[in-house]
Amino acid sequence: MLVICLGRATKIAQFLADTDKTYEAEIRLGMASETYDEEGIDPTISAKPVPDLAEHEVRDILGKFKGKILQRVPAYSAVRVGGQRLYKLARQRTAVEIPEREIEIEDIRLTRLDLPSIFFTVTCSKGTYVRTLANDIGERIGCGAYLKELSRTRVGPFTLDEAISLNEIRHYRQAGSLKRHIKPIEEVLPFPSIQVKEHFTPFIISGRSPRLKDISEVEGEFSTDDMVCLKDHTGRVAAVGKARIGSEKLKEDHDIKHFFAYVRVLN
């Protein structure tokens, strides 16, 4: 599953990329991979014996990865080290220190155990490599593992049930009905919003900060530094920014002046 932004919506891609994601994965035990997936399997190396694991044992192992953890970036990845892509350095057999990143595994659940395969779903933060997770699970079990299959089923508020296939896109486009399947920005961004009055709308493009007298409505609740949409007088999202104060204080403090910091103007 892939979320695609079109036209003006390309300006909100950065906010969608930060959302958490859910995957369905199959990992194969008994063999480690240089790339952490099937591509990096060395056929000249024999598989290791796989322990006769029970379901409760696998659930316990998966549970060890839940929460905030440090994860090693795969050597075969597009991450830059010293200005060069890691996969290029790996192919050149250049020794480098592989960086680690803090990621969060919000949920990880066993869905099926069919040794030597383990099937699970995982909900994780931006920057998580599920193939690294597969390798780390194999190391914890002691027999090695690699990522066999992977399917992304959710990106932020979007689920696979809502997605349309490439063939469906072609069909809808030929039928002239594709637009009906494209979500507007107002439905996509999962942020509360501040709507301004008509007189202030022209000033959004120049990044002028609104004041209390310029607001017509506050939708939803937010705290300091939360992401907030700034809507024009028609209800169209015109900018995205950070709240400098919480929504409750904004409603109470009539002397407040600077409460919205622009991150991206969409007009």
Do 119 and 211 share a domain, yes or no? no
Give the model's pLDDT for residue 254: 62
Give the model's pLDDT for residue 97: 85
Give the model's pLDDT for residue 124: 96
Q: Is residue 143 part of a domain?
A: yes
Give the model's pLDDT for residue 255: 65
Ramachandran region, residue 140 (left: φ > 0; alpha: ψ -120 to 50; beta: rest): alpha
Q: Is residue 24 part of a domain?
A: yes
Residue environment code for 47-57, b if the CB has 16+ CB neighbours within 10 A, otherwise e: ebebeebeeee
Do 127 and 211 share a domain, yes or no? no
Number of CB atoms found within 10 A of residue 190's CB: 13
Q: Which structural domain, as residue segments, surrounds residue 203?
A: 191-265
Do 28 and 138 share a domain, yes or no? yes
Give the model's pLDDT for residue 122: 98
Do 82 and 136 share a domain, yes or no? yes
Do 25 and 76 share a domain, yes or no? yes
Helix H, strand E, coil C: the string for 219-260 is ECCCCCCCEEEEECCCCCEEEEEEECCCHHHHHHCCCCCCCE
Whether a cis peptide bond, with omega within 30° of 0, leads into 202 is: no
Q: In total, how many domains does the chain have?
A: 2
Contact 100, 74 (CB under 8 A): no
Q: Is residue 162 part of a domain?
A: no
Do 151 and 254 share a domain, yes or no? no
Give the model's pLDDT for residue 253: 62
pLDDT in tens, the chain (267 residues): 889 999 899 999 888 888 899 999 999 999 999 999 999 998 899 999 999 999 999 999 999 999 999 999 888 888 888 888 988 888 888 888 888 999 999 999 999 999 999 999 999 999 999 999 999 999 999 999 999 999 999 998 889 988 999 999 999 999 999 989 999 999 888 899 999 999 999 999 999 989 888 999 999 999 999 999 999 999 999 999 999 988 888 776 666 778 899 999 997
Give the model's pLDDT for residue 172: 93
Q: Is 249 exposed, middle or buried (0-12, 13-18, 19+ CB in 10 A)?
A: middle
Do 109 and 220 share a domain, yes or no? no
Give the model's pLDDT for residue 16: 86
Structural domain ending residue among the three candidates 108, 135, 155: 155
